[in-house]
Amino acid sequence: MDMQPLDTLSLSKDYKAGGFTQRHAETQAKMLISVVNSNLATKRDIEELRKETKRDTEELRKEIKMDMKALEYRMMIFALFTALIAIKYWG
């Protein structure tokens, strides 16, 4: 869904038709557009966020992979020592 940019002239005319003075209608339209524009994300904002999220996800994936390798190594050492102890006592 494409968003249409807010038209200050049309907005101002609508306010004026609703009983606002010319000055109040223009001021209200400018203020509303200022608030809306300050809270909207641009395509560029969204693309930057997407890239950051992708980088963060890749970094986490690498960290998890390294943690899993370290855990796998520790488990092999534990299994080896357990086998050696078993052989010593029951072997």
Per-residue pLDDT of the chain (91 residues; tens, 9 = 90+): 455 667 778 888 888 899 999 999 888 888 888 887 787 888 999 999 999 999 999 999 999 999 999 999 999 999 999 999 999 999 7
Residue 36 structural domain: 1-40
Q: How far is Cα of residue 29 from the mean position of the Cα atoms in its chain?
A: 31
CB-based contacts of 13: which residues, under 8 Å, 6+ apart?
A: 25
The count of other CB atoms within 10 Å of the CB of residue 79 is 10
Give the span between the Cα atoms of 79 and 87, in whole angstroms. 12
Instruction: Specify the pLDDT at position 5.
Output: 65
Residue for token pair 């209200």: 28
Residue 34 sits in the same domain as residue 47: no
Residue 30 sits in the same domain as residue 51: no
Does the pTM surpass 0.85? The reply is no
How many separate domains does the chain show? 2
Residue 48 sits in the same domain as residue 28: no
Instruction: Specify the pLDDT at position 1.
Output: 44
